Every structure is written in C-alpha cells, then in structure tokens.
Amino acid sequence: MTALAEREAAGPARESEPGPRAGHPRADVKRSLSWLGLVPFFLFAFAFMLLPASSILVGSFQDAEGAFTLANLANLFRPSILNSYIVTIKVSATTALLGGLLGFLIAYAITLGGLPKPLKSFMSTFSGVASNFAGVPLAFAFIATLGRMGVLTVFLRTAFGIELYDAGFNLYSFWGLSLTYTYFQIPLMILIIEPALEGMKREWREAAENLGATSLQYWLKVGLPVLMPAFLAAFILLFGNAFGAYATAYALTGGLINLVTILIGAQVKGNVLHDPNLGYALALGMIIIMTACILAYSWLQKLSSRWVK
C-alpha cells in the first residue's frame, strides 16, 4: 500500500485515536524506511560492480607512480595485444556458436524429441554440473583424454591406427582450446534454452501443419522467430562465459595461447612482465567489448521480440 492510501485508509479511524495526528507518523516512517529493502542491492552494486570498475578505470590512466598517462591505453594497440583480443573474441564466438548449436540440438532432443523420461532428468542434472565444470580440473580431464598420451589418443592409435596429432589435431591449439570450452558451453546452452523450448506449444506446430506448412516452414516462420530472443540471450551469455574464462586456458596451454585474461594475469602477478596498470587497461578493454556486446544484444532483442508482452 502506498503511504497515501495508507493514510486514507487510516483516516476515519483517526477520530477515535488519542493523538490528533496518530495516522501520520506511522505512514511517514513507513515511507522513509521503504528504501531499506534496496540497500543490499546498492551495496552489492557498489562493492562488486562500481568499485572494481572505477578502480580499473582509474588504474588504466595511471603509470607506476600514480601519475596520469595515456600510455597504457596506447599499449592496447600493440599488435601482440590487439592479436590477443582477436584470439579471445574468436575463441568466445566460436565456442558460443558451436556450444550453442550443439546445446540447442540436445535440448531439442530432451524437450521436443522423444527422449525417454529417465534420460531427460539425467541430462538436466548432468548439465547443471557440467556447465560449472571448468578451470584446472577440466583442463586436466582433457589432457588425460585427448593430450598426446591421452586415453582416447592412445586408444585411437592402438585400436585403429589413427594418429590424431599427425592428422592435424592439437589440444594445445586454438581448436583444442575451443573444444575444451565447448565442454561447458554445451550444458550451459542446454540449461538456458530448455525453458524456452518447453514454452513452445505443440499446437503452434500442429496449426502450422494443418495450414499446409512443412516442418521446415514451421521452423523458419514460427519456431525460430519465437526462439530468437532466447537464442540471442543465450549467445551473449555463452560469449561472456568464454570471454572471461582464465583458469581453463591457462592450465591447458600454459599461456601458449595469449588470451586477454592470461595477459592480465601475467601483468598483475607475473614477475617478468609485471605492469599492473597495463593489466587495468587490458581489463578496461574487456569491459568495453562486453558493454558493446550487451548494447548490441539489447538492440537485437528489441527487434526480435516486438511481439512479446
């Protein structure tokens, strides 16, 4: 109830109350305390978003002595650093698309395809766990499976005479890293897209069929457009998920692939390259790219979901 409504409701009763203005203070107190509920949010936003972001912003424009400089930002355009941004974006986009596509197909099989019930609930649980399985354990699991002496590598060699690494595969390369990321991207996609798929009414499909549409026509004109907002949201989430990843790549390639996060790590705690202010600038670059992504996303989202309530 708003303070005003509260006061009005209390109005007639006021006559009988002892204090002439008994209704007022209570309502005022209520109004003045209503912002209290927002405190945790603002504290959170301040401590975990505003504070780090502003210290990154400030640090980016300071040299080692704390004086103002543009050198850190200028350094971002060094070819090696530009290149690591490009590699990071490539890894993120590739794994978001690949994981997104595969995750969608699996989620489709779970929800709309005829996957048996027990398998369904297993997949949901598994996705929940696997989407969080990242970092050193994931890297180690992949090394143990697909590394030069990995179980699968050796098995393929001994059983079929296939030499993965001679065939051009390398776990410690761009595609090896992408493959490893895909491991947590797929289940994350499943988790995100499953509710959207559950929301697809069987009647839409049947109505389309009844009106003469083929399966393909249904998907092009109804299914995909309806899912598009969810796809966009999922892609951005997957992209961000890979964009900020650090430990997996570091443990897997030991810095062979210079992701931006690995560069930042080297500046902040490395003993050779130690330059925290360049690290701040690198992080600022990431924030800017992510912000641009989110802006592009909300614009596309608006376009693709005009029909949503």
Partner 1 sequence: MAFIELRDIEKSFGKNQVVKRLSLDVGKGEFVSFLGGSGCGKTTTLRMIAGFETPSAGSVKVDGRDMSGIAPNKRNLGMVFQNYALFPNMTVRRNIGFGLRIAGAKGAEVESRVDEMLGLIHMEEFAHRYPHQLSGGQQQRVALARAIAVRPSALLLDEPLSALDAKIRVKLRDDIRAIQQRLGITTIYVTHDQEEALSISDRVAVMREGRIEQIGSPFEVYNRPATPYVASFIGTLNLLSGAVADPSKGTLLVAGRELRSSGPIEAPAGAEVKLSLRPESLSIGAGQAGHNRIEGRIESVKFLGSVVRVVVETGGQRVFMDTFNDPSAPPPPVGSSVELSFPPEALKAGAAEAASEPERAAAAEEG
Provide the b/e sequence for 228-244 (b: ≥16 CB within 10 Å): bbbbbbbbbbbbbbbbe
Closer CB to partner 1, residue 29 or residue 224?
A: 224
Which helix or strand (DSSP H or E) is residue 15 part of?
none
Q: How far is the CB of 304 from partner 1 (least distance, A)?
A: 9
* Rounded-to-integer distance, Cα 165 and Cα 186, Å: 25
Angle at 274 between CA 92 and CA 177, to 5 degrees: 25
Tokens 């143990």 belong to residue: 144
Closer CB to partner 1, residue 173 or residue 301?
A: 301
Q: How far is the CB of 101 from partner 1 (least distance, A)?
A: 21
Q: Which residues bind partner 1 (CB under 8 A)?
A: 201, 203-204, 206-214, 217, 221-222, 225-226, 306-309
Strand residue runs (E) in the chain: none
Q: How far is the CB of 232 from partner 1 (least distance, A)?
A: 14
Closer CB to partner 1, residue 21 or residue 117?
A: 117
Query: Which residues, in sequence order, are bridge partners of residue 62?
Result: 68
Closer CB to partner 1, residue 36 or residue 211?
A: 211
Residue 270 contacts residue 255 (beta carbons within 8 Å): no
Closer CB to partner 1, residue 16 or residue 210?
A: 210
